Structure 1
Amino acid sequence: MHSKMDCVSRSPLFSPLAPAVKAKLITVTHHRKFYQKGQLIRQPLDHQEGMLILDEGMAKIYALAANGKEKIIELLRSGDVVGQHWLFAPHENQGFIQATSDAWVCSIQYDDFQRLLGESASLSLAMINNFGNQLIEAEKNQLRRDLLDAKARLMAYLRDCAVESGQIEFELPLKKKELANILGITPETLSRQFKQLAAEGQIIVNKRQITIC
């Protein structure tokens, strides 16, 4: 069964927010619009500005070259989020998002989100604090990239997660693809480093559940 609260929480932008703040976001979220396989979800000049959450199904983001050839930019699966930054500045779609299977999509439009920001001081304050935390995390990630190798970057990140959660066992807050991007490594390298850290006895991995040894 679709949970509106869980849907909004899939966005890394909104997941740290308090339930009362998320409840306000739910009021401007359009839930589970159906798209048939092959149907365009977004395209240039459709005036659909905002964030998308692929609740169920698969899709692809692509652009067309001058010769009309399609270039795939990203493949999307259930739970993926696209266009969080489009909630903060008007943006006209330059590419296409197409369902590659039957898909159900949730969305928040730019105008609706901006209106809610203006009406809700608690949401505005929460977003400012969240951005501040993201800036701090970005600075940490840059230091990791500059000073540490891939395995050390990953271990430093996992230790930070343990400190933030207050316990040595925690669930990864990001998908592994997103984590690889943040750490500046490929998903394949990330998988190898997880296996190596586990083999060395530094961590225990059970899907997204991590234990620091």
Structure 2
Amino acid sequence: MDIAKQMQMQEIALFKGISDDARKVLSEQARRRTYRPGEMILGETDAVRAFYVVLTGQVKLYKSSPEGKEQTVSLLGEGEPFGLCTAFAVEPFPVNVMALEDSMILSIPGPVIEAVAGKEPALLLNVIQILSRRFKESMSLIESLSLKEIPQRLATFLVHALKKARGDRLVLTITQRELAKILGSTPEALSRAIRRMSNEGILESGGRTITVLDRNALKLLSEGE
């Protein structure tokens, strides 16, 4: 029995509330693999039936067009799962998944997750809660990309980021180019938006550090006011 693996799984929100026996089954069947920055974890249309959790590092989920254009769908960090849609059936994976930094990924076969979920209501409830949150985030992304200009998109991103931050100082874990992809923008347009917000006294920017000076103005901008 891999005690270290079980201890890691205890810290993952998805497995909160499940029995020790269920956690033992999952840990015995789980596999860990390390990925380097820029290494593909899963490709769009890969047929898989498995479930994944980011143990360390950070990954991005993104769509790409035949012309090479990318749209980042989500960034996931430590303890966050992906592959919920392929855990219970063999389906083409809907997005690409790439490591942004050195990352360790835990994978569990879909049939194992399905067997445990049939006996553990807490696991199913956790899955529903995560899917609900992801759906809400997807709707917010669609609204932002289709209805908002670049400064508003950036303001919306920062408002959400502040909810997880301590204080008004944000240290981005991604490059400005990656942030531009999330916002459906270009690095140049993003730089102009940051410069404008800095000139208006909403924030200060230096490297990957953004300090919000006026939360109220930031919120109003995110709402289009």
Q: Is the 8 A contact 1:161 1:170 kept in 2?
A: no
Which consecutive unaligned segments of at least 5 residues does structure 1 have? 35-40, 57-70, 74-78, 98-102
Q: Give the TM-score normalised by the residue count of structure 2.
A: 0.50
SS of match in other structure, 2:111: helix
Instruction: Return the letter of the residue paired with 2:134.
Output: Q
- Partner residue in 1 for 2:90: 90
Which consecutive unaligned segments of at least 5 residues does structure 2 have? 36-40, 58-67, 71-76, 98-102, 214-225
Instruction: Return the letter of the residue paired with 1:136.
Output: K
- Partner residue in 2 for 1:169: 168
Moved over 6 A (4+): 5-9, 79-82
SS of match in other structure, 1:165: coil
SS of match in other structure, 2:211: strand
Matches of 1:6 and 1:198, distance apart in 2: 44
- Partner residue in 1 for 2:16: 20
What number of residue pairs does the alignment pair up? 179
Return the offset for 1:128: 0.8
Instruction: Return the letter of the residue paired with 1:29.
Output: A
Q: Deviations over 1:168-210 (max 9, x none)?
A: 4365798567755553335665566456545654334577664
Matches of 1:6 and 1:157, distance apart in 2: 33
Q: Deviations over 1:84-115 (max 9, x none)?
A: 5322431368xxx9xxxxx9764222222222
Q: Give the TM-score normalised by the residue count of structure 1.
A: 0.52
What is the RMSD computed on CA atoms of the aligned residues?
5.5
- Partner residue in 2 for 1:29: 30
- Partner residue in 1 for 2:183: 183
Please list, as runs of the form range in 1=range in 2, the aligned pairs for 1:111-150 lying within 5 A after superposition. Answer: 111-150=111-150
- Percent of counterpart pairs with the same letter? 22
Instruction: Return the letter of the residue paired with 1:133.
Output: R
Matches of 1:145 and 1:186, distance apart in 2: 13
